[in-house]
Amino acid sequence: MTRLLDCQEVTKSFGGVPVLKGISLELHPGTVTALAGENGAGKSTLMKIATGQLRADTGTVTIGEHTLSAGDPRDAVRHGVVIVPQELASIDDMTVYENMFVGREKRRGILLDRRAMIKEAAEALAVFDVSISPTARMGSLPVGLRQIIEIVKAARTGAQVVMLDEPTSAISEREVEGLYKVMKQLRDRGVAMVYTTHKMAEIRAIADRVVVLRDGKLITDESLADITDDEIVTAMIGRELEHLFPAVGKDTGDVVLEVENLLVAGASEPVNLTVRRGEIVGLAGLVGAGRTELLEALFGMRSVISGTIKVDGKLITKGRPAAAITAGMAMVPEDRKVNGVVLSMSVLDNGSLPRLASFSIAGWLRNKSRSTAVAGAMESVRLRSRGLSQSVGTLSGGNQQKVVLARWLTGTVNVLLLDEPTRGVDVGARSEIYRIITEFASRGMAVVMASSDMPEIVGLSHRAFVMREGAFVGELDRQALDHPEVQDSVFRLATALDSRSETPAAEQRPSLEEAQQ
């Protein structure tokens, strides 16, 4: 079989620590290879080396007959190899179409041909069945949609090899379907794809081969027909995973969070919600359904039109995160790069950010107690770092997420707000995070968790609400969550799909751009 891309004995170290220990991988036309492995296993590093973003220490990457000049992404692109990176590089101040054509602008004479670019962008986006206006500002879109745009952009360059580094971690089922559609089209055209995901169902749904990395070594390289899910998980984490979800706690206490008639700007209706101590409430819905906006409003990061928020019976001043934190609210945001962590800062500094005041006396940081508290918190999520001084930007994606979650563990929390808490987190670490969330709840916290991962909503929640256009359109109690067809009913509620009609309600949906306003 012809090879499109061939990595031979690739090694890479960072600061003397080996991250890839001799990886060889060949890619053939018209195939989809799932690249699996724990957070920090070396998946992104391998993809970056194969696409010229990073220079290998030893080993070679060949594209057809051409040996890639190490560390030269343009050389890779010229030879038809592109990457959609895990941490997006889109330019938020530009529009969707400008992002899609950046560096390859269409011109008429010396002038930019905006009309042609907008038209072409609209056509390319239509394939994904997501209504995004090409003239929307990139920064106004949720991260899931920005990711889709990056994929469409890569697909359009005529690449022969496309590397997708966790393209689905932030998007919901509906957008995943659109992504698969395009991946299948690319595969039929002979494109070779490598795809990282932490979700087993996705590996099965789209890939024909799975390659597992563990601690920088290639552990498994199999056709998917020849390997079971359990075998893949075991190869990834080096042990068998017993239960992904801990048992849902039985005891719930007094009401701690009371939300009355809270109307968030852009929502179609106000929201009412009470959550008890020990209770985990899930928020399901499509990308753009208003889950993030609601959580942000609760945490004072977004202004609201009317309504009240009470914690432990006390009214919270709206629109002020500091007031929310004082009342014992904690927030783990969806886009960790924007609202979560400061990538250039160390684990220690990030870990103490939310509670800096409690670690200081008269303006002086109490370094001992600070590092003890942060070290304890990071240990409890089994953070993989080279110590508290490592900058968060150099941690693997999943480990960055653990820092965002763990930093609240240094003090008391009454209400924990989670937005896609396991986005990009590997199965092993995910089961740890689920354990931590359940533990948080059983210690008397009220948890509100937005997630696009249905198994996560079903596995953890006492109750769940389905959101659409910023409003609750359905509530599922534990019994409903256990129903085998829960996924279907959630989807119907989330899309306003009439139960009698067979066609998806795409036309009735407001455009996602409108929903964002």
Ligand X SMILES: Nc1ncnc2c1ncn2[C@@H]1O[C@H](COP(=O)(O)OP(=O)(O)OP(=O)(O)O)[C@@H](O)[C@H]1O
Q: How far is the CB of 356 from ligand X (least distance, A)?
A: 25
Q: How far is the CB of 209 from ligand X (least distance, A)?
A: 18
C-alpha atoms less than 13 angstroms from C-alpha of 20 in its C-beta half-sphere: 26
Residue 426 binding result from ligand X, Mg ion, none, given CB thresholds of 5 to 8 Å by partner type = ligand X
Q: 66 or 384: whose CB is closer to ligand X? A: 384
Q: How far is the CB of 177 from ligand X (least distance, A)?
A: 23
Q: 37 or 52: whose CB is closer to ligand X? A: 37
Residue 341 binding result from Mg ion, ligand X, none, given CB thresholds of 5 to 8 Å by partner type = none
Q: 51 or 86: whose CB is closer to Mg ion? A: 86
Those residues with Cβ within 8 angstroms of residue 281's Cβ, 6 or more apart along the chain or in another chain: 273, 275, 446, 447, 448, 449, 461, 462, 463, 464, 465
Residue 431 binding result from ligand X, Mg ion, none, given CB thresholds of 5 to 8 Å by partner type = none
Q: How far is the CB of 170 from Mg ion (least distance, A)?
A: 14
Q: How far is the CB of 452 from Mg ion (least distance, A)?
A: 19
Q: 33 or 45: whose CB is closer to ligand X? A: 45
Q: Which CB contacts under 8 angstroms, 24+ apart, belong to 101-107?
A: 104/157
At residue 293, the 3 state secondary structure works out as: helix
Q: What share of the chain is helix, strand, coil (3-state, %, to 5)?
A: 35, 25, 40
Q: Where are the beta strands (DSSP E) in 265-353?
A: 271-276, 280-284, 304-311, 314-315, 329-332
Q: 178 or 428: whose CB is closer to ligand X? A: 428
Residue 90 CB: number of other CB atoms within 10 A? 19
Q: 163 or 416: whose CB is closer to Mg ion? A: 163
Residue 275 binding result from ligand X, Mg ion, none, given CB thresholds of 5 to 8 Å by partner type = none
Q: How far is the CB of 491 from Mg ion (least distance, A)?
A: 29
Three-class secondary structure assignment of 33-51: EEEECCCCCCHHHHHHHHC
- Name the residue whose CB lies closest to Mg ion: 44
Residue 224 binding result from Mg ion, ligand X, none, given CB thresholds of 5 to 8 Å by partner type = none
Strand partners, 221: 211
DSSP string, 5-40: EEEEEEEEEETTEEEEEEEEEEE-TT-EEEEE--TT
Q: 128 or 434: whose CB is closer to ligand X? A: 434
The torsion angles phi and psi of 356, rounded to 5 degrees, stand at -55, -40
CB 307 within 8 Å of CB 270: yes
Q: How far is the CB of 42 from ligand X (least distance, A)?
A: 4
Q: How far is the CB of 495 from Mg ion (least distance, A)?
A: 31
- Report the alpha-carbon distance of residue 107 to residue 347 in Å, rounded: 46
Strand partners, 340: none
Those residues with Cβ within 8 angstroms of residue 61's Cβ, 6 or more apart along the chain or in another chain: 5, 6, 7, 8, 10, 49, 50, 52, 67, 68, 70
Q: How far is the CB of 14 from ligand X (least distance, A)?
A: 3
Those residues with Cβ within 8 angstroms of residue 443's Cβ, 6 or more apart along the chain or in another chain: none
Residue 19 binding result from ligand X, Mg ion, none, given CB thresholds of 5 to 8 Å by partner type = ligand X
Residue 181 binding result from Mg ion, ligand X, none, given CB thresholds of 5 to 8 Å by partner type = none
Q: 210 or 283: whose CB is closer to ligand X? A: 210
At residue 88, the 3 state secondary structure works out as: coil
Residue 39 binding result from Mg ion, ligand X, none, given CB thresholds of 5 to 8 Å by partner type = ligand X
C-alpha atoms less than 13 angstroms from C-alpha of 501 in its C-beta half-sphere: 10
Q: 129 or 215: whose CB is closer to ligand X? A: 215
Q: How far is the CB of 127 from ligand X (least distance, A)?
A: 27
Give contact residues for ligand X (rule: CB under 6 A). 14-15, 19, 37, 39-45, 86, 394-399, 426
Residue 395 binding result from ligand X, Mg ion, none, given CB thresholds of 5 to 8 Å by partner type = ligand X
C-alpha atoms less than 13 angstroms from C-alpha of 399 in its C-beta half-sphere: 24
- Report the alpha-carbon distance of residue 168 to residue 146 in Å, rounded: 11
Residue 99 binding result from Mg ion, ligand X, none, given CB thresholds of 5 to 8 Å by partner type = none
Q: 39 or 461: whose CB is closer to ligand X? A: 39
Give contact residues for Mg ion (rule: CB under 5 A). 43-44, 86, 397
H-type helices in 127-244, by residue range?
143-156, 173-188, 200-206, 229-237
